[in-house]
Amino acid sequence: MTFEFVNSSFDMKSYFHIFFCFIILNSCSSNVKECDTRDAMVVSARKEASEIGLMMMKKGGNAFDAMIATELALAVVYPSAGNLGGGGFMVYRLSDGSVGSLDYREKAPIKATKKMFLNEINEIIPKSSTYGALSIGIPGTIAGIFRVHEKFGSLPIEEVFKPVIALANNGYKINNKQSERFKKYLPEIRKINSTNSMYSREYKAGDTIKNIQLANLLIRIMQNGPDEFYKGESSKKLIKFLKSKGSIISAKDLEKYKAIWRTPITFQYDDLKIISMPPPSSGGICINQIMKMIEPYDLKKLGHNSSDYIKLLVESFKRSYADRAVYMGDPDFNDIPYKKITNQNYLSKKMKQFSFQKPTPPHEIYSTNTEIKESLETTHYSIVDPFGNSVSATTTLNSSFGSKLFCDELGIFLNNQMNDFAIKSGHPNIYGLIGGEINSIQAEKRMLSSMSPTIIEKNNNFYMTLGTPGGSTIITSVIQTILNVHEFSMGMEESVNSPRFHHQLFPDVIKIEKNKFNDMLLIDLENDGYDLEIVTPYGRVDGILALEGCLEGGSDNRGNDYAIGF
């Protein structure tokens, strides 16, 4: 983990780590909870974004000012996922204990139709929902941050925007992981953008990228408010660009877009109160279902990442992902039977045929089959302010660089979130997730998400904020991180970096992170009837844990994520 205590150049985490390793020789990575900071913290995918977020709180601003600054800074320095051309979700908890959530998820355009990605014989038109103009949903990020500012912002919007504008003008240095990502997607980006488009060039690690058009767009938005993006000069530029690429998004679509405050999903697990994202995310409900399915078991006794622990979690994951496909979609278009599917009797019945001896066959849980996967990108950040407010936000273009369409005049990538709909009943999206009518495409509907920004309370106090990218794996990564802390007494850093596994019913395999589990355990699971798929490490959980009078950050070492505080 990278952690910085501001005004201090030495790496406090490493110092403590070496110290602990020295005195507790054989447990140097285990159950060490370290105070990083006392009052405030930001953990995000990039140092610059965490720093700008923290700067807001140093100026006297709150977690919401920091959220806006961090979200915008990620659009500058982390353009594969940070965005103005995408959307996201935010969960908050105020110092008085009140909670809420904001949905700034993309919507389908007015002209969208159920079969827009199918040909005359009902086959999916390859790549149509993932690449290029038709894959774009109406962006929600600018509406989202202004919703946040009008309700909770304490600094003038100029103070929040200015450092981000400076960052876009002065540029940021790309790191190794980013340069690899740019290289990987360059052919696709080049193919649908002009050759002199800024991301059609090849960048090496260490190069500085300035995004002057984005800086100018941010200046206009700062001066004219969200209408600039949805109704003003910039919206006209965006519509002109989208039309030229064959998009069905109209000026009316932008005009009508609204971010929506929603009541979060809250439930009790032992002495924790979990607060997470409601539909149109499946995150909160699935986390609720899964944690309630496993609550009756003694997880400590099973042992962290033991074969029985993995089996129990995997079987609960499978049952919840089946319900995800059947019952979850945009709540403004469907009645989601939340009470029914989180009822304890209902969940106990689902777990009735669970056995540590053998896997439950998928057809006994759900009756379709499917398989597909791809490489992905989203980003999460967590914030705690000195006033006791906390924020958990996940934002995305969906795939890396979204649709790959880059609007040069505005300096932004556009999302490919339309693929999160069930574009054909029972057909998997890029994460292998299936869905039916409830998540079918309809004009102005929001596509179902797995993003799970989550906050946890213990004894009526703030305890934890966390979330992660990772498509369908988001839900299971968030749950394992919570359990690592709560059941296995890990600190936040150890918890986010701990090995992870995943199952989503279809395909019927346990995804296991490569080189992180011992071979005997894997052989045991296979002998007991599980198919395994060894995958490269996935997700980047960024979280903050409250310790006695201080905070511990966890920034996932699978990325270049960065925690900073004071």
> What are the residue numbers of the active site?
378
Using the minimum distance from each CB to ligand DON, give the nearer residue, 163 or 283.
283
Task: Return d(Cα 566, Cα 551) in angstroms, integer.
Answer: 10
**Structure letter (DSSP) for residue 126:** T
d(CA 148, CA 91): 11
Residues 454-483, interacting with ligand DON (CB under 6 A): 469-471, 474
Q: Are 300 and 488 in contact (CB under 8 A)?
A: yes
The single-letter code of the amino acid at 123 is E
Please report how close the Cβ of residue 498 comes to ligand DON at its closest, in angstroms. 19
* Residues numbered 205-224 forming contacts with ligand DON, rule: CB under 6 A: none
Cα 373 off chain centre by: 17
Token reading at 168: 């876009």
Nearer to ligand DON, 235 or 396 (CB): 396
The 393-432 contact track toward ligand DON, x by CB under 6 A, reads ---x-x------------------x--x------------
Please, which residues bridge with residue 545 across strands? 464, 552
Residue position matching structure tokens 């979700």: 89
Give the contact letters, 128-157, x = binds to ligand DON (CB under 6 A), - = no: ------------------------------
Beta carbon of residue 129, minimum distance to ligand DON (angstroms, whole number): 12
Residues 360-399 that bind ligand DON (CB under 6 A): 376-378, 396, 398
Nearer to ligand DON, 396 or 555 (CB): 396
Residue 37 DSSP code: B
Q: How far is the CB of 423 from ligand DON (least distance, A)?
A: 13
Measured from the CB of residue 377, what is the shortest distance to ligand DON in angstroms? 5
Indicate the helix (H) or strand (E) that contains 492: helix 492-497
* Distance in angstroms (rounded) separating the CA atoms of residues 417 and 433: 14
Question: 172-173 and 208-209: which strand pairing?
Answer: antiparallel
Minimum CB distance to ligand DON, residue 522 (Å): 24
> Bridge-partner residues for 547, per DSSP?
550
- The least CB distance from residue 117 to ligand DON, in Å, is 16
Q: Could you tell me how many residues of this chain bind ligand DON (CB under 6 A)? A: 14
Largest pairwise CA distance in the chain: 69
Span near ligand DON by CB under 6 A; candidates 201-209, 290-298, 444-452, 506-514: 444-452
37, 450, 484, 495: which one binds ligand DON (CB under 6 A): 450
Choices 164-172, 181-189, 437-445, 448-456; region in contact with ligand DON by CB under 6 A: 448-456
105 vs 319, which CB is nearer to ligand DON? 105
SS3 category, 9: coil
Of residues 137, 209, 199, 181, the one with CA closest to residue 414 = 137
- The per-residue DSSP string of 232-270 comes to SHHHHHHHHHHHHTT----HHHHHH---EEEPPEEEEET
Find out whether 425 and 226 touch, Cβ atoms under 8 Å.
no
Check: CB of residue 432 under 8 Å from CB of residue 445: no
Cβ proximity to ligand DON: between 396 and 504 the closer is 396
Q: Are 4 and 564 in contact (CB under 8 A)?
A: yes
Residue 287 φ/ψ, nearest 5 degrees: -60, -45
In whole angstroms, the minimum distance from the beta carbon of 130 to ligand DON comes to 11
- Contact residues: ligand DON, CB under 6 A: 376-378, 396, 398, 417, 420, 449-451, 469-471, 474
